[in-house]
Structure 1
Amino acid sequence: MKAGLDMPNILLTRVDNRLIHGQVGVTWTKTLGANLIVVADDETSSNEMMQSLMQVTAKSSGAETRFFTLEKTIKIIDKAAPRQKIFIVVKTPHSARVLVEGGVPIKELNIGNMHFSDGKRALNKKVYVDDQDVEDFKILIENGVNVYIQDLPGDVKEQVSHLI
């Protein structure tokens, strides 16, 4: 990864099970001033139905959308133009970890919704984790990523390091 001015302009990366929905596609995108939402998710990258539903939401904020696999995101993120103000959305902490370990310069990781499922425990009312999620958070934090829970832009940030 090149340093300095050639770095991609990543405004924020968010973990959200739902990927692009009203909160992400409108509220977060407008607050950040993002003009490109990159959904880095292997499953969604090949599901045109999911993509078209997400694009409808994103269009209302005026942002463009791209749907890439994790590997493709790693390979092309450094080719982003300086005018692109990028908001990356992933489904899981593990996806964020893969991106960071692949060289994507993520400095902040916002944790939005991580739904309850068997084997998961609550970090707060909207974020449920299992042992793999906790391990991924620890590695991200060790790599210098500021990992925090923040549902909406005006909400107080809860540092994940204090919760795990």
Structure 2
Amino acid sequence: MRTILLISHGDMAHGVKSTLEMIIGKQDTIHALSLNEGEDNLIFEERLLKKMKTFTGEVLIIADLLGGTPCNTAIKHYVDDPNVTVIAGLSLPLVIEGATNFSLSNQELIKSARQGILDVKMALTQVEPEPENPIAKKDYSHYAGKAVIVNARIDERLIHGQVAGIWTTSLDTQRIIVANADAANDPLQKSSLRLAAPSTMRLSVLAPGKAAENINKGKYGKQRIFLLFKTPNDVLDFVNAGGKIETLTVGNISYKDGAKEITKSIKLMPQEETIFTTLADSGMTIKAQLVPNDPAIDFIKKMNDK
């Protein structure tokens, strides 16, 4: 497995590492080294060489600034080392890609990180929603009942860093289906979700009942589908419309007045507990898991123990 070393002036490298781990969990293969205020290049050079001696195998060094002391020091010692890559332009999107997608080449890593730089307000006015052709206009019967749902997940934030950057890519997702009526009926939300979704994946934003109908009729063929709900009630609506879910993952439900904390990221209102009990009684397996590296927790047991 590749080791990643972040190097920077000041605390930037440690800050990026800390933020990364907040999003994707603890990363033992990612390290940070700073050129602190008052230190010269010789002190940093000594600490860099000492740090690099602790690594074996492939190392990716990501420096904050092209031409800066951290970058120049790394190039000085490792320009001819085939096991060490040095990239300048430290950013969170770049590190997330490097930490979660080992198959990307150096140039692909850089290209992917650049795609995270965007004038969001301008882009929102330009994004055209993906057309949802009525099922009646095409015969999908050949694929009926053959949908491949790689994950069904409740996450109140919908498409965000953990979903777009980690869950969907780790599961080789081909289509994200957001099953939430409010989002489906709001053009601005739909445009925002399209911007947040990985460019390599198809996206559908539908009411839960419509999502169940489309999937059951085979509209998406054998695409690998990541099914994303905002609330427990979305899941119940999907199931009541004939949608089939064997295993449900709960990631994030935020606090509301009167909610009970189940995990740090999941707080439930009494009516939501009732919905989860109903889903579990129907035979659905429900687990809590924030990121793939975290252990999956028996959600119903955790909820009942609180």
What TM-score, normalized by structure 2, do the two folds share?
0.50
Whether 2:207 is the aligned partner of 1:69: answer: yes
Identity of aligned residues (%): 27
**Match status 1:119 vs 2:258:** yes
CA contact (8 A) 2:154 2:228 kept: yes
CA contact (8 A) 1:21 1:57 kept: yes
Tell me what 1:29 maps to. Answer: 168
Matched residues in 2 for 1:20 and 1:153: separation? 16
1:96-135 equivalences in 2 (<5 Å): 96-135=235-274
How far 1:17 sits from its partner (Å)? 0.7
The unaligned stretches of length 5 or more in structure 2 are 1-140
AA in 2 matched with 1:153: P
SS of the residue corresponding to residue 103 of structure 1 reads: coil
Tell me the SS of whatever aligns to 2:196: helix
Select the residue among 119, 122, 136 that pairs with 2:275: 136
SS in 2 for 1:14: strand
* Rg larger for: 2
SS in 1 for 2:263: coil
Aligned partner letter, 2:262: L
Amino acid at match of 1:11: V
Q: Which residue of 2 aligns with 1:43?
A: 182
Do structure 1's residue 159 and structure 2's residue 306 form an aligned pair?
A: no
Conserved in 2, the CA contact under 8 Å of 1:26 and 1:57?
no
Cα deviation, 1:9-42, whole Å, max 9, x if unaligned, reads: 1111110111111111221100111110000110
Once the two structures are TM-superposed, the CA of residue 81 in structure 1 deviates from its matched residue by 3.5
Aligned counterparts of 2:215 and 2:162: Cα–Cα separation in 1: 24
Q: Distance in 2 between matches of 1:159 and 1:93?
A: 16
Give 1:120's aligned amino acid.
A
- Does the alignment pair 1:58 with 2:197? yes
How far 1:5 sits from its partner (Å)?
A: 7.5
Q: Residue 211 of structure 2 aligns to which amino acid in structure 1?
A: T
2 CA distance for matches of 1:129 and 1:41?
Answer: 18
What amino acid maps onto 2:169 in structure 1?
Answer: K
Unaligned residue ranges in structure 1 (runs of 5+)? none
Distance 2:250 2:278 in 1: 15
- Structure 2 residue identity aligned to 1:63: M
CA distance in 2, matches of 1:53, 1:109: 25
Residue 76 of structure 1 deviates from its aligned partner by: 1.4
After superposition, the C-alpha distances for 1:58-101 in whole angstroms (9 at most, x for unaligned) are 124x2111010122112211123443111111111111122122
TM-score by length of 1: 0.91
**How many aligned positions are there?**
161
8 Å contact kept, 1:35–1:85: yes
Whole-angstrom distance in 1 between the partners of 2:172 and 2:285: 20
Q: Using the TM superposition, give the Cα deviation of residue 102 of structure 1 relative to its aligned residue in structure 2, in angstroms.
A: 2.0
Q: Which runs of 4+ in 1 moved over 4 A?
A: none
Distance in 1, Cα, partners of 2:219 & 2:287: 26
SS at 1:88 equivalent: strand
Distance 1:133 1:6 in 2: 29
C-alpha distance in 1 between matches for 2:212 and 2:244: 10
Q: For the residues of structure 1 that align with 2:162 and 2:198, how far apart are their CA atoms? A: 13
